[in-house]
């Protein structure tokens, strides 16, 4: 049984013109000890999905359906007090921008101690020791003397390490990392990813890694779920996503990675934009941008269906065997617009 089982998760934002769906019936699982990458472009609903797991959606946002099963209970139906006991202890989260996610007027030591003081009844002195040990563990050199500094005194890479220490100090079973390396430069990115991978095997936790960077996915993920317009369109082991791509959107995303062996003048972009969530296409949401779309794609609602025990896609034509896998990476002439 999966550690975290998300099914039919639906989150909407109330607007003056009615509710707008950000996540629409997303289903995926996270197994103990694995790294699941959740990819998609901006606005695909990947961050909202992650925030929905911990019920961190603030009004006007609202989770209106689905289940988030963890440890035999549905997190969405827990009382607020029970939910608080899960946050930071069993499931914790790190954010995109470490500077703004740390309190500017508290020392980093005090902040790393915070989850311990909230979730355990160990005294301040023991909490300090554990926080300090955690700061060393995430690779902060000379953490002892940095314990009482403020976030603005640290570099971006160290701040993200502090965030990681803060998230892991209670040794959670699941870490949700929302674009943890986006705000960092490339060399620091690699270090942080390596650190996450190390800590993951050391602590035996599962990581839900949200990113738009397929390079990051290739580096650390075990499994991948591709999200488009609030829905999961493909889910597969990381190797299969690249070698046996089964959804035209995933293929287009992979195709847009700059390739240094190809002498292309221009980057190959996925044409068009993500659809306006207020005016979604009635059938397949990717159909208007898809090079393989047929009239039936535009009208038929498509469901994520397993091709084999580990690989699922929401593309009707792949399910029917009409498209060869992997989907040809150089897609034929895309419609303009």
Partner 1 sequence: MKHSMFGKKLKMRLGGGIVIAVILMAIFAPLLAPHDPYDQDLMSRLIPPFWNAQGDWTYPLGTDNFGRDMLSRLIYGSRLSITVGVAAALLACTMGTILGMWAGYSGGYAETAIMRLADAQLAFPDILLAILIVAAVGGSALNLILVLGLSGWTVYARVMYNMTRSIRERPFVEAAVSHGARSAYIIRQHIFPQLIPVLTVVATLQVAQMILQETALSFLGLGLPPPTATWGNMLAEGRDRMWAAPWISNLSGVAIIILVWGINMLGNGLREHLDPNQRGRQ
Q: What share of the chain is helix, strand, coil (3-state, %, to 5)?
A: 35, 25, 40
Q: What is the CA radius of gyration of the chain?
A: 21
Residue 154, both tokens? 């640290």
Residue number, 106 or 296, with CB nearest to partner 1: 106
Residue with Cβ nearer partner 1 (165 or 233): 165
Q: Return the number of the residue (104 or 337) whose C-beta is nearest partner 1.
A: 104
Within 180-209, which residues bind partner 1 (CB under 8 A)? Answer: none
Please give the size of the binding site for partner 1, defined by CB under 8 A: 27
The runs of H, that is alpha helices, within 169-276 are: 186-203, 214-220, 238-243, 248-255
| Distance, CA of 98 to CA of 101 (rounded, Å) | 5
Backbone angles phi, psi at 169, to 5 degrees: -65, -25
**Among residues 9, 79, 90, 82, which one has the least CA distance to residue 51?**
9
CA 55/CA 69 separation, integer angstroms: 13
Among 40, 88, 157, 180, binds partner 1 (CB under 8 A): 88
Note whether 89 binds partner 1 by CB under 8 A: yes
Nearest distance from residue 148's CB to partner 1, in Å? 16
CB of 152 to partner 1, least distance (A): 12
Site for partner 1 in 208-227 (CB under 8 A): none
Contact region for partner 1 (CB under 8 A) — 52-60, 128-136, 207-215, 302-310?
52-60
Query: Which two structure tokens, joined as six digits, stand for 201?
Result: 């095997």
CB-wise, 166 or 233, nearer to partner 1? Answer: 166
The mark string for 97-116 relative to partner 1 (x by CB under 8 A, - otherwise) is x--xxxxxxx-------xx-
Closest CB to partner 1 among residues 97, 219 = 97
| CB-facing half-sphere around the CA of 131: CA atoms within 13 A | 26
Contact 232, 26 (CB under 8 A): yes
Tokens found for residue 271: 């044409």
Q: Does 119 bind partner 1 (CB under 8 A)?
A: yes
CB of 157 to partner 1, least distance (A): 18
Name which position in 62, 67, 84, 271 contacts partner 1 (CB under 8 A): 84
49 lies in the binding site for partner 1 (CB under 8 A): no
Does residue 271 touch partner 1 according to CB under 8 A?
A: no
Q: From the CB of 92, what's the least distance to partner 1, in Å?
A: 7
**Is the Cβ of residue 166 or residue 184 nearer to partner 1 in the bound state?**
166
Q: Which is nearer to partner 1, 99 or 298 (CB)?
A: 99
Give the CA distances from residue 11 to residues 45, 162, 231, 237, 316, in Å, rounded to whole numbers and listed in that order. 9, 30, 11, 26, 25
Q: Which of 4, 38, 75, 86 binds partner 1 (CB under 8 A)?
A: 86
Q: Does the footprint of partner 1 cover residue 248 (CB under 8 A)? A: no
Subset of residues 128 to 187 that bind partner 1, contact rule: CB under 8 A: 163, 166-167
Query: In this complex, which beta carbon is closest to partner 1, that of residue 93 or of residue 287?
Result: 93
298 membership: H or E segment, kind and range: helix 295-299
CA-wise closest residue to 248 among 233, 238, 236: 233
Q: What are residue 66's phi and psi, to 5 degrees?
A: 100, 180
Which is closer to partner 1, CB of 58 or CB of 187? 58
> Three-class SS of residue 334?
coil
**Angle between helical axes of 156-168 and 108-119 (0-180°, round to 10):** 10
Which residues of the shown chain bind partner 1 in the complex (CB under 8 A)?
Answer: 54, 56, 59, 84-89, 92-93, 95, 97, 100-106, 114-115, 118-119, 163, 166-167
């Amino acid at each position: 049984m999966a550690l975290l089982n998300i099914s039919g998760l639906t989150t909407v934002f109330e607007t003056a013109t009615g509710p707008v769906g950000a996540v629409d019936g997303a289903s995926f699982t996270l197994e103990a000890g694995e790294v699941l990458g959740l990819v998609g472009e901006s606005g695909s609903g990947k961050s909202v999905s992650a925030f929905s797991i911990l019920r961190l959606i603030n009004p006007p946002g609202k989770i209106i359906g689905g289940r988030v099963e963890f440890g035999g209970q549905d997190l969405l139906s827990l009382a607020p007090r029970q939910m608080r006991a899960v946050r930071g202890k069993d499931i914790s989260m790190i954010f995109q921008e470490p500077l703004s996610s740390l309190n500017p007027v508290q020392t980093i030591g005090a902040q790393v101690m915070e989850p311990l003081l909230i979730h355990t009844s160990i005294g301040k002195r023991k909490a300090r020791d554990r926080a300090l040990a955690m700061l060393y563990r995430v690779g902060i050199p000379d953490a002892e003397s940095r314990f009482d500094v403020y976030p603005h005194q640290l570099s971006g890479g160290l701040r993200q390490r502090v965030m990681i220490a803060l998230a892991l100090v209670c040794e959670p079973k699941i870490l949700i990392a929302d674009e943890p390396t986006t705000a960092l430069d490339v060399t620091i990115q690699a270090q942080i990813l390596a650190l996450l991978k190390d800590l993951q095997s050391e602590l035996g936790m599962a990581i839900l890694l949200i990113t738009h960077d397929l390079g990051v996915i290739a580096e650390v993920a075990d499994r991948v779920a591709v999200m488009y317009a609030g829905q999961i369109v493909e889910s597969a082991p990381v190797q299969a996503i690249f070698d046996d791509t089964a959804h035209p959107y995933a293929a287009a995303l992979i195709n847009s990675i700059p390739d240094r062996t190809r002498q292309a003048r221009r980057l190959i972009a996925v044409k068009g934009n993500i659809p306006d969530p207020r005016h979604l296409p009635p059938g397949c949401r990717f159909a208007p941008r898809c090079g393989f779309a047929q009239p039936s794609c535009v009208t038929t609602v498509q469901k994520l269906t397993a091709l084999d025990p580990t690989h699922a896609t929401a593309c009707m034509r792949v399910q029917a065997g009409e498209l060869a896998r992997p989907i040809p990476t150089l897609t034929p002439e895309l419609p303009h617009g």
